[in-house]
Structure 1
Amino acid sequence: MTTARDLTLVALGMPADRPVEQGDLSLALAGAEAIDLLEIGALTLDGDRVSPGSRAATGDRLLDEAVASLAGQGPHETIEDWLWRRGRDLAAAYVDDLQRSGLLTRPPRHGLQLWTSRSVLADSPERARAEERRASGEPVLTALMDAAGTGDAPEEAGGTPAGDAVTTILAAVGDAVTHLEALRLRRDVESAAFDNVWRG
């Protein structure tokens, strides 16, 4: 299992009254992929610029897609730009992947809804591992959970992620999520103003 799958399993296990924003989760998942790829040498970071590493195949379908998205990018984009590009609809891709793997069962979805309260996470070793990692307060997963807005980091969480590159990626995820929230607020304000005009 990868950090991104662990994060997806944790997010899907959140209570129904504490939903996770799909956009926030997608950006955090892209960050999780970047960290996993960095750790296996499939991605390198020069300052805040990303480029393909020496290892091309990961053995994981979605991570291989992430590697492919790095190829041919030149001049190399910033990590935040890559998060936005790679993160588009990434939460839906991970949910679908978990369903295909038998780790999530749910009724057919309608519209843009990713999952419903009737969704059921399988009682699997993968889920147990993700929950153990969450409960341990592992710094990378905890930081990604915070960025995704799960609000469920354990009290004993502590420590900082190792390495400047990982810290750079996590900071970029935080910045991207903050920017997305600002865009949401602006859209809400503009929508409210439009409604007021029509109400006269």
Structure 2
Amino acid sequence: MTTTSRDLSISAMDRAPGRPVGQGDLSLALAGAEAIDLLGVEAIRLDGDQIVPGRRPEIADRLLDEAAASLVRQAPYESVDDWLWRRGRGLSAAYLAALEADGQLTRHRRRGMPFRTSPAELADSAARRQAADRWTSDEPVLAALAAALGIREERTGDSLGVADEAVLTVLAAVNDAVMELEAVRQRRAIEDAAFDNVWRGV
């Protein structure tokens, strides 16, 4: 089963090999992609920014099925923002492991170093070609999620090409969450620098 989340995971590896996407950023975007996929199969609907569970369809993709199983099914329901932070925890690593388990990634032994392997690389597969087709066709949802990760030009408003209000709500939440994570990083960097300066002055 092809999912937006899997296509995003593949695209992030394929389009930014020299400048890897931050794992926290990617995890948040993948959680958003899962929410959009769940909207597509009517497993959820949005009431404002609250995720309301719908029917429980059979989902062939293991990680997306896990996402559906982890939904909060009793009121008060979970907000999209809360979903991104809860479901997104460690999600990029889970998708990497799933791609490797499915044979979508390859690792080569380093010459002269029999016990060390090179970083994982995408194999030439149908899944990779399908993600590439979706990328080159400028599919709006994948493009918007990639823009939130900084690996595609950002578009706003009507230029997104997305008409579904629920999908737009999720995309906006992903953008806000990624910006919030970056703000946390910057704040920590400033605090660490200040701490280092204190110690240098001792």
**Please, what TM-score do these two structures have when normalized by structure 1?**
0.88
- Distance 1:122-1:137 versus aligned 2 partners, 3 A rule: same
Q: Which amino acid aligns with 1:149?
A: G
**Unmatched tracts of structure 1, length 5 or more:** 109-115
Q: Which amino acid aligns with 2:13?
A: L
Distance 2:101 2:120 in 1: 14
- Percentage of identical aligned residues: 58
Mapped contact 1:27–1:177 kept (Cα < 8 A): yes
Residue 119 of structure 1: aligned partner: 120
Residue 151 of structure 2: aligned partner: 150
Q: C-alpha displacement at 1:174, in angstroms?
A: 0.4
Larger mean CA deviation between 117-126 and 28-37 belongs to: 117-126
SS in structure 1 opposite 2:60?
coil
Residue 111 of structure 1: aligned partner: none
Residue 6 of structure 2: aligned partner: 5
Mapped contact 1:18–1:150 kept (Cα < 8 A): no
Mapped contact 2:30–2:92 kept (Cα < 8 A): yes
Q: Which structure has the highest strand share of the two?
A: 2
Q: Which amino acid aligns with 2:60?
A: G
**Unmatched tracts of structure 2, length 5 or more:** 110-116
Mapped contact 2:56–2:68 kept (Cα < 8 A): no
Distance 1:91 1:148 in 2: 13
The yes-or-no answer on 1:162 pairing with 2:167 is: no
Residue 35 of structure 2: aligned partner: 34
Map residues 51-130 of structure 1 onto 2, 5 A cutoff: 51-106=52-107, 118-130=119-131
**Please, what TM-score do these two structures have when normalized by structure 2?**
0.88
- Rg: which structure is higher? 2
Q: C-alpha displacement at 1:5, in angstroms?
A: 0.5
Q: C-alpha displacement at 1:27, in angstroms?
A: 0.5
Distance 2:102 2:8 in 1: 16
Q: What is the Cα-based RMSD across aligned positions, in Å?
A: 2.1
Q: C-alpha displacement at 1:107, in angstroms?
A: 6.6
Q: Which amino acid aligns with 2:172?
A: A
Mapped contact 2:7–2:131 kept (Cα < 8 A): yes
Larger mean CA deviation between 47-56 and 129-138 belongs to: 47-56
Residue 113 of structure 2: aligned partner: none
Q: Which amino acid aligns with 1:51?
A: V
Mapped contact 1:103–1:124 kept (Cα < 8 A): yes
Off by >4 Å, runs of 4+ in structure 1: none
Residue 21 of structure 2: aligned partner: 20
Distance 1:12 1:106 in 2: 14
Residue 112 of structure 2: aligned partner: none
Distance 2:89 2:23 in 1: 10
Q: How many residues align?
A: 190
Q: C-alpha displacement at 1:73, in angstroms?
A: 4.7
Distance 1:41 1:75 in 2: 19
Distance 1:18 1:76 in 2: 37
Q: Which amino acid aligns with 1:97?
A: A
